[in-house]
Structure 1
Amino acid sequence: MATQAPNQPQHNNPLHGFTLQQILELLLEQHGGFAPLAKQIPLKCFSNNPSIKSSLTFLRKTPWARTQVEELFIKLKLYQKTQKSE
């Protein structure tokens, strides 16, 4: 199995360089808050007394929910709108 050197950019990975918090904040900005995001991804952490901190805690402990958030981030191509300078 081939592995990449630690400092090589991952050009084929749109999530590379983004933390879960950045992904969540960009999705919230794109959707205009937790209520519209909860309509897109129906998770209690987005609809029941939501906060960044509680949502991040839930997403870090729940791989299937994190996958849904990451897939929406990729689907909306938010990684292209927030290009990181390399």
Structure 2
Amino acid sequence: MSEEQVSNDPLHGKTLAFIMEQLVERYGWDELARRIRINCFAINPSIKSSLTFLRKTPWARQKVENLYNRTKW
């Protein structure tokens, strides 16, 4: 991609860790667990354990990315 081109991907340049930190700050773990039914959000949640799970589980990562894209910042 040249300097003149701009990515249309809203997640371009955002790491999964950044996305998770933003969502936890915005919603908190309880609300995240309510919005996305993933045990690592509901049981002893942490950014580290969530990242480990999300990196291995494409469907869960997609749900997190979709929530991030739908959130009005």
Does the pair score TM above 0.5? yes
Larger Rg: 1
What is the DSSP-based 3-state SS (H/G/I as helix, E as strand, rest coil) of the residue aligned with 2:50? helix
Query: Is residue 46 of structure 2 the alignment partner of residue 51 of structure 1?
Result: yes
Matching of residue 21 in structure 1 with residue 14 in structure 2:
no
Q: TM-score, normalised by structure 1?
A: 0.77
How many pairs were matched up? 72
Among all aligned residue pairs of Structure 1 and Structure 2, give the percentage whose two residues are the same amino acid.
56
TM-score (norm 2): 0.89
How far did 1:30 drift? 1.1
Aligned mates of 1:52, 1:75 — CA distance in 2:
20
**1 or 2, which has the higher helix percentage?**
2
Instruction: State the AA in 2 paired with 1:67.
Output: Q
- Structure 2 regions of 5+ residues with no counterpart? none
Please report the RMSD computed on the Cα atoms of aligned residues, expressed in angstroms. 1.4
Runs of 4+ in 1 over 3 A off after TM superposition: 6-9
> Partners of 1:24 and 1:63 in 2: how far apart?
15
Distance in 2 between residues matched to 1:49 and 1:76, nearest whole Å: 24
